[in-house]
Amino acid sequence: MKKTVSMLFVFFVLLNCGELTRKPNERSENTSSENPKEAQVNEFAIVIHGGAGTILKENLSDEKEAEYRAKLEEAIRVGYTILEEGGTSLDAVEKTINVLEDSPLFNAGKGAVFTNAETNELDASIMDGSNLNAGASAGTKTVKNPINLARKIMENSPHVMMAGDGAETYAKEQGLELVSPEYFYVENRMQSLKRVKEKDAQKESDNASAFYDATIKDSKFGTVGCVALDKNGNLAAGTSTGGMTNKRYGRIGDVPIIGAGNYANNATCAISGTGWGEFFIRATVAHDISALIEYKGVSLKEAANEVIQKKVPALGGDGGIIAVDKYGNMEMNFNTAGMYRAAMNDKGELVIGIFKE
Amino acid sequence: MKKTVSMLFVFFVLLNCGELTRKPNERSENTSSENPKEAQVNEFAIVIHGGAGTILKENLSDEKEAEYRAKLEEAIRVGYTILEEGGTSLDAVEKTINVLEDSPLFNAGKGAVFTNAETNELDASIMDGSNLNAGASAGTKTVKNPINLARKIMENSPHVMMAGDGAETYAKEQGLELVSPEYFYVENRMQSLKRVKEKDAQKESDNASAFYDATIKDSKFGTVGCVALDKNGNLAAGTSTGGMTNKRYGRIGDVPIIGAGNYANNATCAISGTGWGEFFIRATVAHDISALIEYKGVSLKEAANEVIQKKVPALGGDGGIIAVDKYGNMEMNFNTAGMYRAAMNDKGELVIGIFKE
């Protein structure tokens, strides 16, 4: 029954938004909800990111770069195979993110950064574009794969967002794999925390100015995400992170905030963000990109440029997004020096990127 | 139930399609941001709400109704005076909400509902439309006025959102008034918790179906909010709540989610929501109303109707919003039986409402 509701939702929203997404020269393309395949670029597609920031060639050894490229390819091929075999975009997103969460290379799951208290507090969210259902968890310390908890919250609870000990309790009730906090210990993450703490200390304990210091900002962020379009035309988006190195006060960033760091809507697109979370929340980045497409009728690329190249920098923030729209158009857009990323279309063509090209 | 939802959806979307075709004269009227004064309705304005739900005349004694009306008037006059004397919309929003937080009549501050663990865990958020700065706190237990904490987070920290013990620590560092948990004990709130727990138990511990049961849903929600436009053309929005009666698992609703239960942008409007939080998050209610105005050029009333009368019910949710746009147009829109509300324009004309008129 829920599926019927979802399909009705898709059909009528497509019908409805054909009006909105029409540009004069696209009339035949975007209003053909009776035959949307006319405008279809890819029957299915998947895009992933492993964080954006000051990622420069000179700071990355050839070995390290090869490691990142290999892990990005391993992850995206997991989701691609699911989509190619007719699986759901939700499964593709979850399983792809699991690979990234289980790698110490990225600030999510195993590689989560340390808080000021030398703990690891993870956030994640997932959204189903077919029915706008969503799940998010914040500040969990023992859940091995937070994206799995986000999905359980979405599918098995009446809630969208759970935080802290309560979220851990729910994870246990749902039978998710829990690990001891030591599982998340990664030596270079601890070194990053020590460096950031030293630099913060130099700022005469002026938390704000230390936070805004560009020299330490980049070492603080990073996250992973995946967006996918499946053969049934359903979009899904997922994002998972360890948050911000040296975070205090139970800080929650944009990742578990639906509409900020993550959003999916079959009427428009699926988006996952990475970057300076506070600015992504203030700019409601993910929903703003979707709204530009739905109400202004611009393309995914135009919408992403508007928000990532103009609105976020105008506020003083930085970062990037990955996205795929209902037509299978893929987008990887960032205003930082680099973003770990990969994309695959329905022909199996793979693109992997790290630096600005 | 689901069938009804999907049929409603069909109906709403079809209606929707018609309304989306913009009349030529509307565009010039609503997108005249180059010269907003052309369309200025009020130099300053303020709107408040004290929660939406199944509020029926027959369930409210004349004495109780008089109490609510008196408190709504007391609160809105505090903010009105600040605005009339040339104060900021942020001060008007914060001080007005303080009056509502300090009253046991509303589910915020003193009158916060109880969690499943018989604690009170409060959420709040505030946003400054002049710079899109925002602050939010979730799950605090000893902060007397959560809206004040949200403002401290916005103005004195580099973060937007803090949760749990960390947020309490920050509140203490900022010198905010802390109270013992007993301060929040209100007998009829405890009775509500007991009633909800009994009904939940009858549902054979099926949390979801109990949650979706309309007979207990209404006793679970409620919140307070304020939006204001000041003489300098700055918009601000604030929302504060005790959350949901019998909430578990560290559930976070829409109130501290920027773009869902609260949003302000000088380019469009300021919005505060109240209702079934999960659906307000999934529909990114507050930012969606702003985006409809900004990108489609519709009026505040059309945008609010689109989201509250069509999109939220289509998902199966209910509730309402209050809003004021940059022209001083005021809106109080809800799809429930009632919403505690009040509005004052720049002539000092006061409107107070509780039931559907």
Mutation target to probe the B interface, by most B beta carbons within 10 A, among A295, A299, A310 is: A295
Average pLDDT over residues B50-55: 88
pTM above 0.95, yes or no: no
- The reported pLDDT for the residue numbered B202 is 75
Confidence of residue B58 (pLDDT cuts 50, 70, 90): confident
Q: Which H or E element spans position A139?
A: strand A133-140
**pLDDT over 50 (residue A54):** yes
Q: CB of A103 within 8 A of CB of A130?
A: no
Q: Spell A339-353 as b/e; 16+ CB within 10 A means b.
A: bbbbbbbbeeeeebb
Output b/e per residue, A71-96; b: 16+ Cβ within 10 A. Answer: bbbebbbbbbebbbeebbbbbbbbbb
> What is the per-residue pLDDT for A212?
53
pLDDT beyond 70 at A204 = no
Q: From the list A165, A170, A249, which residue is nearest B159 (CB)?
A: A249
* Nearest alpha carbon to residue A147 among A191, A112, A182: A112
- Model pLDDT for residues B202-236, shown as the tens digit of each residue: 765 555 554 555 545 555 667 999 999 999 999 99
Chain A residues closer than 8 Å to B252 by CB: 138, 161-163
Per-residue pLDDT at A70 exceeds 80: yes
When CB atoms are compared, the residue of B10, B250, B296 closest to A164 is B250
Mutation to test the A interface, candidates B295, B302, B306, most A Cβ within 10 Å? B295
Catalytic residue among B88, B96, B223, B241: B223
Average pLDDT, rounded, for chain A: 88
If you average pLDDT over every residue of chain B, what do you get? 88
B91 against A11, higher pLDDT: B91
- Chain A residues with CB under 8 Å of B315 CB are 131-132
Contacts of A294 in chain B (CB under 8 A): 295
Whether the CB-CB separation of A296 and A22 falls below 8 Å is answered with no
Whole-number pLDDT of residue B7: 46
Using the beta-carbon criterion (under 8 Å), do B17 and A15 form an inter-chain contact?
yes
Question: What backbone torsions phi and psi does residue B30 show, to the nearest 5 degrees?
Answer: -95, -10
Give me the active site residues of A, please.
223
Contact A167 B250 (CB under 8 A): yes
**Per-residue pLDDT, B217:** 55
B314 contacts in A (CB within 8 Å)?
Answer: 9
Query: What's the residue count for chain A?
Result: 357
Q: What is the 3-state secondary structure of A82-138? A: HHHCCCCHHHHHHHHHHHHHCCCCCCCHHHCCCCCCCCCCEEEEEEECCCCEEEEEE
Judged by CB atoms closer than 8 Å, whether chains meet at B287 and A292 is answered as no
Distance in angstroms (rounded) separating the CA atoms of residues A56 and A50: 15
Q: Which of A31-35, B26-30, B154-158, B183-187 has the lowest mean pLDDT?
A: B26-30
A32: Cβ–Cβ under 8 A, 6 or more apart, which residues? A18, A38, A39
pLDDT in tens, A284-303: 999 999 999 999 999 999 99
Instruction: Closest CB to A5: pick one of B5, B277, B282.
Output: B5
* B335 close to B56: Cβ distance less than 8 angstroms: no
| d(CA B64, nearest CA chain A) in Å | 32
Least confident span in A307-311, B104-108, B137-141, B201-205: B201-205
pLDDT digits (tens, 9 = 90+) for A207-235: 555 455 554 555 566 799 999 999 999 99
pLDDT grade, residue B130 (50/70/90)? very high
Residue numbers in A near B263 (CB within 8 A): 284
Work out the minimum CA distance from A156 to partner chain B, whole angstroms: 8
Per DSSP, the residues of A172-229 read HHTT--B--GGGG--HHHHHHHHHHHHHHHHTTT-HHHHHH-HHHHTTT---EEEEEE
pLDDT tens, position by position, B162-186: 999 999 999 999 999 999 999 999 9
Q: If we measure between CA atoms, which residue out of B176, B250, B227, B276 comes closest to residue B49? A: B227
- Interatomic CA distance for residues A138 and B31, integer angstroms: 39
Q: Point out the least confidently predicted range of A57-71, A92-106, B51-65, B268-282.
A: B51-65
Residue of A12, A126, A245, A315 to mutate when probing chain B, most B C-beta within 10 A: A12
DSSP codes of every residue in B239-258: EEE---TT--TTEE-STTSB
pLDDT bucket at B23, cuts 50 / 70 / 90: very low
pLDDT at site A55? 84
Q: What is the mean pLDDT of residues A1-8?
A: 47
